[in-house]
Structure 1
């Protein structure tokens, strides 16, 4: 059921956080004639919003810091928005609708949006507090890692997902005398996105580039010297690796503490309804700090959909509300392109179609159930990925173009069209190789 919010009468909207989600919301709000009369944005970092996705090429020396900036401070002023940087909101007084920053600044509000993002999930192990242990979430982290790369030594990255691999590759590219190891708790890299074949292809490529990949690695403690500097890591199986620095990139934790201390309902994140409203109707939450129907968020696609709903709600525009939806993930790991959605491993009910071109380094695998696509993994050439995802969302029965599925959307569309017209089309003379059914 659609609803119309009464938030169009908001005089003063305060957005706490100046990350990518916050900035996307601001961009949406300024386009609306019913935007709040006064908008204030408070960011804990000293710089305006920037693209965190580009921190890895920044670390690698492939980009300059200015290239990450989404809008400079002058743009906010031109839009009539007050931008406060380098201040963190310490307290949120819901009874008086005021907030106070760590500088002692106090503001009143009619409505607040919590867009406080997330922080690296730090393992609860001995030694995690040692010097030389870093996360990789912001510009300050990127600067610290750049210094590590230039100094050289043994750097160990904890986490074999996208962020960990990008951090490892950035260190390797930037440093001249640095040895980089990646520790992955699972038996394969990017186990949430890739199947075994694609993961092994990725690992082989990164190993050839000079990274030391250690899978099945369960970290139990960090060891340091008398000065409190990390010197080594210890694994559950008894292995020990030298480490002059350790980078934690093993997931994120929502920054929900401000909402929790203000008495909002929280679990892992700040709980919101389909309109991104918290347990206090005068407060919304957005992005990585919020939790909806048990889910928290780390990818931009669902967060961008949240922004659309929240912007409409704030401006008093009818909206059906936010709903979780399947997402496809297009990733670029250090120049290697990946596209994936759905299950990473087939079940007994799946038909598996796969194709691999060893010379080109391309791999495609499609999971079918009763003729419908339920999942796909593409490594290298990912051009077919969006078409697969479109067919999966539509629930298209692709039995009639099964032989063409791995080689081109155009071929598949021709066969589908012919089948729908009850035409007799033969694919026997095609120059394409026959897909391998696993």
Structure 2
């Protein structure tokens, strides 16, 4: 907790009116969690700038790839009144234009004025746009919300050439989706390897080989210089810093995200890269909370679902007047949502002198596992191909299991590993022999 952070308490009983700004996955889950609480707010108003009901943003990539129907994205719609008596109103296509902290009131672009007892900012994020010429041209897209995905799907109906800027998770998922819809796609990655924040060189090489075999073209060490105008306000080419010119009918920018902090900053809340919160998701105003991609806890901002779900649990308990632990940062694992590509990674990427490195690589089967151990504990892992053991390894890294002489067995299948670890206590020598044979 920051020394200057407020301590939020609520001894007045249930909150009368909770206003939530944002109608994404975090807001949807917060409402659902609150409505199961005996001391849920009496009224909840959700204000969302998008015109569609809440949807599962995680599924945008497979939807763009044509692997599911549009309806599969939709999250369950809320009842107007819950079984506990909470009344819920959802206002779609409406933007909050002002927050009056003294009066505890928000104003919207439709002229509505809503008083609140507590306010939650769950405004999410948008695609970060590099500061290079041409970003405002027609045919330049982000890939963060349903509007982005629908625009890309419409573009792909006409085929043509697409260039995706960014070889991380979102960039590769967008590129594969457009390729499957019939476009010729190039991926430009600034680093020397794809997914450089999650993968080592070997796993990144396997991933690149698989994607190129499917028809994607990958350019690494590519630095964007500008987007070329066709003379009519539309993009026609990508220009790299080395002078390379790549013709493009559409360009997708997937170089990161920018938290939507504008409502909080305009209201005078303490902001850095995002809206600062304490362990109760409380901002510098004790009546205002921030949640998800628009908030910053310590030095951390958020783009993955797992930590945001943890934030939801903490905030829902707080708003319902329940005691419980505050939010803490926890490590998360990475999975790629591309059909036919199995990838799972967590922890540090590069080995240090303090690490023991265990590696298994079968090029013919396209399988690779690399584990980093520190003092007998799992510190990080990269799995490509067969990733079934990934969640188990991640859990063991979190509970700090000591593997000792059975550590080499970690490169086996999960069941064999568990058997060897169980045997270790009763037969250390036999376990060590099996582990060495397995290696």
CA distance in 2, matches of 1:289, 1:22: 12
- Secondary structure in 2 aligned to 1:9? coil
CA deviations 1:364-396 (Å, max 9, x no partner) are: 110112222110001111111122112212222
CA distance in 2, matches of 1:112, 1:296: 20
> 1:51 corresponds to which residue?
56
CA distance in 2, matches of 1:233, 1:6: 58
CA distance in 2, matches of 1:192, 1:426: 35
Question: Is 1:291 the equivalent of 2:296?
Answer: yes
Contact kept in structure 2, 1:126 and 1:221, CA below 8 Å: yes
- Secondary structure in 2 aligned to 1:76? coil
Gap change, CA 1:148 and 1:433, over 3 Å in 2? farther
Contact kept in structure 2, 1:7 and 1:313, CA below 8 Å: no
- Secondary structure in 2 aligned to 1:119? strand
Contact kept in structure 2, 1:76 and 1:82, CA below 8 Å: no
Superposition pairs for residues 166-181 of structure 1, below 5 Å? 166-175=173-182, 178-181=183-186
CA distance in 1, matches of 2:95, 2:9: 32
Structure 2 unaligned segments of length 5 or more: list them: 2-6
Normalized against structure 2, the TM-score is what? 0.94
Question: Is 1:11 the equivalent of 2:20?
Answer: no
> 1:76 corresponds to which residue?
79
- Secondary structure in 1 aligned to 2:252? strand
Q: Which moved more, 1:405-414 or 1:380-389?
A: 405-414
Superposition pairs for residues 261-340 of structure 1, below 5 Å? 261-340=266-345
Contact kept in structure 2, 1:415 and 1:425, CA below 8 Å: no
> 2:109 corresponds to which residue?
102
CA deviations 1:196-239 (Å, max 9, x no partner) are: 11111010000000001011111011111211110111111221
CA deviations 1:269-288 (Å, max 9, x no partner) are: 00000000001111000000
How many Å apart are 1:337 and its aligned residue?
1.6
CA distance in 2, matches of 1:388, 1:7: 45
Tell me the C-alpha RMSD between the 2 structures: 1.8
Of 102, 117, 120, the residue aligned with 1:113 is 120
How many Å apart are 1:132 and its aligned residue?
0.7
CA distance in 1, matches of 2:161, 2:418: 52
Question: Is 1:237 the equivalent of 2:242?
Answer: yes
Contact kept in structure 1, 2:423 and 2:431, CA below 8 Å: no
Superposition pairs for residues 29-68 of structure 1, below 5 Å? 29-68=34-73
Structure 1 unaligned segments of length 5 or more: list them: none
How many Å apart are 1:325 and its aligned residue?
1.3
Of 203, 209, 213, the residue aligned with 1:204 is 209
Question: Is 1:129 the equivalent of 2:132?
Answer: no
Question: Is 1:402 the equivalent of 2:418?
Answer: no
> 1:87 corresponds to which residue?
94
> 2:256 corresponds to which residue?
251
CA deviations 1:231-280 (Å, max 9, x no partner) are: 11111122111111111111101000000001111011000000000011
How many Å apart are 1:405 and its aligned residue?
1.1
